[in-house]
Amino acid sequence: MDAPAGNGLTRRDFAKTAAAAAAVPLLTSLGACAAPGAAPPAPAPDAGGAAPAAGGAGSDARANAVADALTEVVRDRYGERLDAAQLETVRGSIRSNLGTARRLREFPLPISTEPVLGIPVPPPTAS
Amino acid sequence: MIPTEVLYLSVRELAGRIRSGALDPVELAEAYMARLEELGPRLGALVVVTRERAMKEARAARDEIRAGRYRGPLHGVPYGAKDLIAAAGYPTTWGAEPYREQRFDHDAAVIERLTQAGAVLVAKLASVELAGGMGYEQANASFTGPGRTPWNPEYWSGGSSSGSGAAVAAGLVPFALGTETWGSIVTPAAFSGVTGLRPSYGRVSRYGAMSLCWTMDKIGPLCRTADDCGLVLAAIAGHDARDHNSANAPYSYTLAKPARRWRIGVLRGATEGTQPAVRDNFLASLDVLRQGAELVEDVRLPEYPYNAAASMIIEAEAASIFEELIDSGRIHELTAPEDRIGGYAGQVVFARDYLKAVRVRGPAATALDQLFAEQRLDALAHPTRGTVAYPVGKKFSEAYPDVKGGGEPIGGAANLVGLPGIALPNGFGENGLPTSLSLTGRAWQENKLLEIGSAYQQRTDWHTRRPPNFG
Tens of pLDDT, residue by residue over B261-309, are: 999 999 999 999 999 999 999 999 999 999 999 999 999 999 999 999 9
pLDDT band at A25 (very low <50, low <70, confident <90, very high): very low
Structure confidence at residue A127 (pLDDT): 44
Half-sphere CA count of B301, side-chain side, radius 13 A: 35
Is B164 considered catalytic here? no
Would you say residue B72 has pLDDT above 60? yes
What are the chain B neighbours of A101 within 8 Å (beta carbons)? 312, 349-350, 353, 356
Structure confidence at residue B125 (pLDDT): 98
Tens of pLDDT, residue by residue over A73-86, are: 999 999 999 999 99
Minimal CA separation from B41 to chain A, in Å: 22
pLDDT band at B258 (very low <50, low <70, confident <90, very high): confident
Would you say residue A44 has pLDDT above 50? no
What average pLDDT is seen over chain B?
97
**Smallest CA–CA distance from B395 into chain A, residue:** A42
Minimal CA separation from A43 to chain B, in Å: 7
pLDDT band at A14 (very low <50, low <70, confident <90, very high): low
Average pLDDT on B14-32 reads 98
Task: List beta partners, residue B428.
Answer: B434
What are the chain A neighbours of B201 within 8 Å (beta carbons)? 119-120
Structure confidence at residue A126 (pLDDT): 52
Average pLDDT on B152-159 reads 98
How far apart are the C-alpha atoms of B260 and B255, rounded to whole Å?
14
- Cβ burial of B423 (10 Å; 0-12, 13-18, 19+) is buried
**Smallest CA–CA distance from B139 into chain A, residue:** A43
Average pLDDT on A86-99 reads 97
Task: List beta partners, residue B382.
Answer: B438
Would you say residue A23 has pLDDT above 50? no
Angle of helix B351-374 relative to helix A84-105, nearest 10 degrees? 50
Contact flag B404-A119 (C-beta cutoff 8 Å): no
Name the least confident of A28-42, A84-98, B157-171: A28-42
- Cβ burial of A51 (10 Å; 0-12, 13-18, 19+) is middle
Structure confidence at residue B304 (pLDDT): 98
Would you say residue B462 has pLDDT above 60? yes
Structure confidence at residue A105 (pLDDT): 96
Contact flag B411-A89 (C-beta cutoff 8 Å): no
The answer to whether residues B56 and B122 touch, using CB atoms and an 8 Å cutoff, is no
Option in A3, A43, A104 nearest B360 (CB)? A104
Angle of helix B306-321 relative to helix A11-22, nearest 10 degrees? 120
Structure confidence at residue B236 (pLDDT): 98
Q: How many CB atoms neighbour CB B104 within 10 A?
A: 15
Structure confidence at residue A31 (pLDDT): 30
Minimal CA separation from B86 to chain A, in Å: 17
Tens of pLDDT, residue by residue over B328-363, are: 999 999 999 999 999 999 999 999 999 999 999 999
How far apart are the C-alpha atoms of B160 and B170, rounded to whole Å?
17
